[in-house]
A = this chain, B = another copy of it.
Amino acid sequence: MTLTLDQARTIISTTRAKGREMGLKPLSVVVLDSGGHVLAFEREDGAAPGRFAIAQGKAYGAVMLGMAGRAQMARAEAQAYFMAAVNGVYGGQVVPVPGGVLLRKGGVVVGAIGVTGDTSDNDADAALAGAASAGLDAEA
């Protein structure tokens, strides 16, 4: 199964709506496909200009390692030099904290969401709402 642009747009609009409902700061939301490539992105008004790279970095690490943000953070806390090395081999594109959410369908990874703007845990909660709206299984 390949994520469609319509699914990515649904994920982004639901993630943003969840952010408004939770009273979060302006969010930036990216959806990557199963190869880690950008399908769609939106940055809400008031967010800092560099948010695309943070959102992408959360989602990119999830896809490339097959490991969502919380698992990446646990590994970084247990073995910081390992996640630093991983970032080296991936060109510095990995941001190993919650907000990077793996998307699965039938057990297979079909992409990832990356959310940034509020606390990492709130970012992840908003992303989970987005994943559910597209009928996908999610791992935060």
Contacts and interface: CB of A to CB of B under 8 A. Distances in A.
Nearest to A47: B66
Contacts of A90: 50, 53
**How many identical chains are in the complex?**
4
Interface in A92-133: 92-97, 109
Nearest to A120: B82
Nearest to A39: B43
A81 B96 contact: yes
Interface residues of A, number: 54
A138 to B, nearest CB: 16
Interface of A: 2, 4-5, 8-9, 33-45, 47-50, 52-54, 56-57, 63-67, 76-77, 79-97, 109
